Amino acid sequence: MTERAIIIIPARMASTRFPDKPLALIAGKNMIERVWSIAKAVPGASDVWIATDDPGLASFAKQFGANVLMTSPSCPTGTDRVAEAARKLDGNTIFFSLQGDAVLTPPWVIDEVLKTMLHDPSIQMATPAVRLKGQALHDFIQSKKGGSSSGTTVVFDQKGNALYFSKALIPYDRNELNPERPIYRHIGLYAYRMDTLQRLSALPEGPLEKSEKLEQLRALENGIPIRVVEVDYRGRTHGSVDRPEDVSIVEAIIAREGELL
């Protein structure tokens, strides 16, 4: 059977920081439909599913044409929700988890990760990252020097497999003499092969994950390699909606840069 790739969008209404977030309007369009539209525009994806535990959200999503899988309300993370949904979708499949608030994710970023996975069957898990340069690099470094916990960096080996992810600025530049050192900002999206997804979902939280509050470190702590795929946002701004105040920020970006689709 030919391997295929499916995008699953985990979405829940009971967010403590932003209740009913998937239905929030972003420049006149509901968040969940925006993300679904992005996923549908990915050439390498054979199908797109929304995974939720909320019947009202499921009904709303079906109205704009989405496929929906109902999952347990007890799923502690989006990864667990994707893992449960994947068990309902049998076949020789790569599963891509696209967060339901990732409204500024270019379809070509997702497609690049899927192509990498489809071309190399040995890759168990993959994730995108962007190399920071110029003003973006300067701003990121200054933000970290100011104590910001926003933004994750990643370092990887010569094959592209992740060595570590951190909220700190890595690699550390001891003498601060190299302003163009390779700093990659991690984009928190993941593609998995079925066995890896199920294994990861069943593993307990490890000490590194607890310290950094980065779920992907669970994979590294348990010897699961993660291929880092360098992507190009082509001038677009990265961002998602975590809190209600992020809506206006995202809307300003869309007004400035135009719609993705």
Residue length of the chain: 261
> In the predicted model, what is the mean pLDDT of the chain?
94
- Examine residue 261 and state whether it is found in any structural domain, yes or no: no
Assign 3-state DSSP to the chain and report helix, strand, coil percentages, each to 5: 35, 20, 45
**Partners of 25 in the β-ladder:** 30
81/75 Cα distance (integer angstroms): 6
Average the pLDDT over 87-100 and give the result.
Answer: 90
- Examine residue 243 and state whether it is found in any structural domain, yes or no: no
CATH code of residue 191: 3.90.550.10
| Chain Cα centroid distance, residue 89 | 20
Peptide bond into 43 cis (omega under 30): no
3-state secondary structure of 229: strand
Looking at the fold, whether 143 and 184 belong to one and the same domain comes out as yes
pLDDT at 181: 79
Bin 116: left if φ > 0, else alpha if -120 < ψ < 50, else beta.
Answer: alpha
- On the CB side of 102, CA atoms within 13 Å amount to 23
Residue 179's pLDDT band, with cuts at 50, 70 and 90, is low
Domain boundaries, position 222: 124-230
Structure confidence by residue, pLDDT tens digits, 114-148: 999 999 999 999 999 999 988 888 889 899 889 88
Average the pLDDT over 161-173 and give the result.
Answer: 94
- Examine residue 251 and state whether it is found in any structural domain, yes or no: no
- Rounded to two decimals, what is the model's pTM? 0.95
- Token pair of 167, please? 């909220």
Structure confidence by residue, pLDDT tens digits, 183-204: 999 999 999 999 999 999 999 9
Looking at the fold, whether 43 and 83 belong to one and the same domain comes out as yes
Peptide bond into 171 cis (omega under 30): yes
Looking at the fold, whether 6 and 80 belong to one and the same domain comes out as yes
Average the pLDDT over 101-108 and give the result.
Answer: 97
Decide if pLDDT at 254 tops 70: yes
